[in-house]
Amino acid sequence: MTTYHSLEIEGLQVFYRKAGNPDKPVILLLHGFPSASHMFRELIPVLEKDYYLIAPDYPGFGNSSSPDRDNFKYTFDKITEIMEAFINQLGITKYALYVFDYGAPIGFRLAMRRPENVTAIISQNGNVYREGLGEKWADREEYWRNPTQEKRDSYRTAFAPETIKSQYIDGTKENQVSPDGYTLDIAYMSRPGNDEKQLDLIFDYQTNVKMYEEFQKYLQEYQPPFLAAWGKNDVSFIPEGAKAFKKDLPKAGIHLLDTGHFALETHAKEIGELMLIFLKKNGI
């Protein structure tokens, strides 16, 4: 069964859920925007018999501390630093990475820092290629080049309730997505002060795109076992992002699923089964 915990790191409470036997191989589950570790609630039961699963909430997300911007720098480098300390405090030295959305640049930073720790990577709409950027990213890159306050304010729509709901529903068949996930994310995103923190991360996302070549060099050099389980109807990270992994990882398994960005909302069992086959095939 899943249990719920928190660790103190740099004065912050980092919430996490865990399941499975600590003697089994570890899978670190890294969530995306605008969600938290609850996004793995249906995947964990598929895997917990065979693996030890750990799913943290980043600072400013879910049930982890959400420090003021005066006291915490909302960047992907800083969140990675907290996640690295989290891993170290748990004493984990080997783990497979499951990366989704924001979890991809965080997970790949971790992998680059400690490549010997990573046993495999599962990417579910976790992009590290320019080919995977949907049309909306052209506007974001213009914002990064010319970061006016007006443009910054325009991105408040990214965490508006209707936008969050659309992220869950777009690209899925009618009536397949439970309202529980997006309703909870809307509540998280509407907390006082959260808007400016999320706008900081939207602006800082440019650092991830600039690091794509570094992420790709890591893949080329270390050749980690790799599985992409990708919602092919995602408009943020389009299927070309999944296919692009083959350039650097010829043995990568690429599975395009008939769903949207939050593929676990409709395909948790299928993704879990793909993971079990993949991990066992690679001796994990």
31, 38, 261, 267: the catalytic one is 261
Query: Taking a C-beta distance cutoff of 8 angstroms, is the pair 106, 80 a contact?
Result: yes
Of the pLDDT bands very low, low, confident and very high (cuts 50, 70, 90), residue 94 is very high
CATH number reported for the structural domain that contains residue 172 in this entry:
3.40.50.1820
Asked about 261 being catalytic, the answer comes back as yes
Type of residue numbered 89 = Q
Of the pLDDT bands very low, low, confident and very high (cuts 50, 70, 90), residue 111 is very high
Percent of the chain with pLDDT over 90: 100
Average pLDDT, the chain: 97
Of the pLDDT bands very low, low, confident and very high (cuts 50, 70, 90), residue 19 is very high
Judged on CB neighbours under 10 Å (0-12, 13-18, 19+), 227 is buried
Average pLDDT of the segment spanning 241-264? 98
Count of structural domains within the chain: 1
**Predicted local distance difference test score (pLDDT) of residue 99:** 98
Query: Taking a C-beta distance cutoff of 8 angstroms, is the pair 260, 233 a contact?
Result: yes
| Domain extent for 192 | 3-281
Question: How confident is the model over 129-153, as pLDDT tens digits?
Answer: 999 999 989 999 999 999 999 999 9
CA distance 25 to 96: 8
Average pLDDT of the segment spanning 183-197? 96
Of the pLDDT bands very low, low, confident and very high (cuts 50, 70, 90), residue 43 is very high
**Predicted local distance difference test score (pLDDT) of residue 125:** 98
**Predicted local distance difference test score (pLDDT) of residue 80:** 98
Average pLDDT of the segment spanning 115-128? 98
CA distance 107 to 28: 9
